Amino acid sequence: MQYISTRGGIEPVGFSDAVMMGLARDGGLLLPECIPDVSDRLAAWAALDYPDLAFELMRLFVDLPDKDLKQLVQTSYAGFRSTEVTPVVQVGNVHVLELWHGPTLAFKDVALQFLGNLFEHILKDREQDLNILAATSGDTGSAAIYGVRGRDRIRIFVMHPKGRVSPIQEHQMTSVTDDNVHNLAVEGTFDDCQEIMKTLFADLDFKDTYELGSVNSINWARVLAQVVYYFYGAFRVMERTGAERVRFAVPTGNFGDIFAGTIAARMGLPIGRLILATNENNILARCFCEGDYSLGEVHATLSPSMDIQVASNFERYLYYRLGESPETVRILMKTFATTGRLALPFSDGESIDGLIVAGVGDTEATLQTIREFHEEHDYLLDPHSAVGVSVGRRFMDESEPMICLATAHPAKFPAAIEQATGNDLAHHEVIEALADIPTRSDVVAAEADTIRAYMVSRIGKKPDAVDDEPETVATDESELSEGEPQGVAPEQNDEGSE
């Protein structure tokens, strides 16, 4: 399988090269040249356990020997707290796909445990080093850190928006003080962090010289690993109910998780609808309901991992939606970079897409859903999962069971749970164990040059580093600032946090 850019500016590359490249060198996102149809394999795959299903699906997309891939998959999921990896439980009239049984209690573990092992395998084979630059709105950071902490040949630099992630999410990241882990509290929003990351990846001299890699969902391997649990969840529910098709409700901010669902549908998984659920940061819901993809102000909510306006994976969706035309994608992304808005045509008068429908689960709906599920079913939903359930139940169909993706354990958001239920109910031993662990992070300005200087200071000046004007590619990001990089202030915190 070869991989191409959504913007058409690179020659096709193999899977391992695509993983190491992260963001395509022309500023686009990487996708496989074709999506295999597995309709004739569904019956056989339905009988597989999670690791075997992951192996059979992934081997269609990767260029690794089967024995190596099988070992990577088995190792990646051996430490999950459920033998099913992503079990499905019925709660009332919905089926909850629990994606939070990994080491950091978030769905990102499903992909990032695999990606960490994959990176290590490729780097060892190629005798290379890797410096990962990541942006997180909460869960990606800790999951990525836990996936690569202490590994040889890898450093990780994680940017999170200062004061805009939950205290527990922040503590999970900053309590990891391995020498190869660097946490940066950026004085801005997640969108600022994401823009900085894309800007530095667009500086090809810097990217090549300092061996940059990505664990964000711009990396195709992240999406690929997430496709698996759509198949697994659908198989479990169809077996239990006898249904021939299912629906998925997906809380999303960056469009990565639900994009994995669109790939599953393209592969032949019988999905009737994908229900896209956002919080008050509703750029994606407005897009699919009104055809209006335009920037707005970022609002702080009870579901901070979804407090996003610029959804990086949306470009992959556009590529398919617009007939796989890289020229059209380039034009639209340039327009969006200039105006902050895209106007897309309707297809049926209700949605711009025949598969995806969308809605908003605001704070009131989130709290009400958490409260209702606790009182009626003795089941706790974290606020992100509650957004998905709230919106998903508006699109129920008796013939197509609703599978709601539960993206985090409620113990990661105890304040929201207490606000909804009136009681301190959300606990987990993994979270409790963090209470007295010292933390370490550095507060930095939301500027690309600042982050660049920070990384160089930790990696060390490379002999072949270019000091003059950096080579860049045409992307949607603003030009790098011309001034001197600002300093960074270390923030040492030996106190426990919630």
pLDDT of the chain along its 498 residues, tens only?
999 999 999 999 999 999 999 999 999 999 999 999 999 999 999 999 999 999 999 999 999 999 999 999 999 999 999 999 999 999 999 999 999 999 999 999 999 999 999 999 999 999 999 999 999 887 888 999 999 999 989 999 999 999 988 888 899 999 999 999 999 999 999 889 989 998 999 999 999 999 999 998 889 999 999 999 999 999 999 999 999 999 999 999 889 999 999 999 999 999 999 999 999 999 999 999 888 899 988 898 999 889 888 898 999 999 999 899 999 999 999 999 999 998 775 544 445 788 999 999 999 999 999 999 999 999 999 999 999 999 999 999 999 999 999 999 999 999 999 999 999 999 999 999 988 899 999 999 999 999 999 999 999 987 776 554 444 443 333 322 323 333 333 333 333 332
Q: Is residue 367 part of a domain?
A: yes
Amino acid at 64: L
Cα gap 21→208, rounded to integer Å: 10
Cα gap 441→459, rounded to integer Å: 16
User: What local confidence, expressed as pLDDT, does residue 351 receive?
Assistant: 55
User: What local confidence, expressed as pLDDT, does residue 471 receive?
Assistant: 45
Indicate if 116 and 252 belong to the same structural domain: no
Q: Is residue 233 part of a domain?
A: no
Indicate if 192 and 247 belong to the same structural domain: no
| Residue-number span of the structural domain to which 260 is assigned | 85-104+238-430
User: What local confidence, expressed as pLDDT, does residue 344 receive?
Assistant: 75
Indicate if 301 and 360 belong to the same structural domain: yes
User: What local confidence, expressed as pLDDT, does residue 216 receive?
Assistant: 84
8 Å CB contact between 102 and 387: no
Indicate if 416 and 445 belong to the same structural domain: no
Indicate if 158 and 255 belong to the same structural domain: no
Indicate if 150 and 260 belong to the same structural domain: no
Picking from 414, 430, 446, the residue at the C-terminal end of a domain is: 430
- 3 state DSSP class of 250: strand
Picking from 409, 430, 451, the residue at the C-terminal end of a domain is: 430
Identify the helix (H) or strand (E) that includes residue 4.
strand 3-5
Cα gap 107→159, rounded to integer Å: 19
Q: Which of 70, 108, 162, 207 is catalytic?
A: 108
Q: Is residue 13 part of a domain?
A: no
Amino acid at 137: S
Q: How many helices (H) and strands (E) does the chain have?
A: 19, 16
Task: Give which of 50, 82, 93, 80 is closest to 379, Cα–Cα.
Answer: 93
Indicate if 417 and 291 belong to the same structural domain: yes
CATH number of the structural domain spanning residue 169? 3.40.50.1100
Q: Is residue 69 part of a domain?
A: no
Those residues whose C-beta lies under 8 Å from the C-beta of residue 303, and which sit 6 or more positions away, are 251, 279, 366, 383, 384, 386, 387, 416
Picking from 430, 446, 469, the residue at the C-terminal end of a domain is: 430
Q: Is residue 381 part of a domain?
A: yes
Indicate if 306 and 414 belong to the same structural domain: yes
364: its two tokens: 């009131």
Q: How many domains does the chain have?
A: 2
User: What local confidence, expressed as pLDDT, does residue 284 receive?
Assistant: 94
Indicate if 463 and 335 belong to the same structural domain: no
Indicate if 370 and 485 belong to the same structural domain: no
Indicate if 344 and 463 belong to the same structural domain: no
Q: Is residue 229 part of a domain?
A: no
Rg of the chain over Cα atoms, rounded to whole angstroms, equals 21
Amino acid at 451: I
Taking CA atoms, 53 is separated from 68, 82, 95, 241, 258, in Å, by: 15, 16, 20, 21, 20
Instruction: Tell me whether residue 108 is one of the annotated catalytic residues.
Output: yes
Indicate if 318 and 419 belong to the same structural domain: yes
Q: Is residue 231 part of a domain?
A: no
Taking CA atoms, 190 is separated from 110, 193, 354, in Å, by: 22, 5, 30
Task: Give which of 234, 224, 220, 223 is closest to 45, Cα–Cα.
Answer: 234
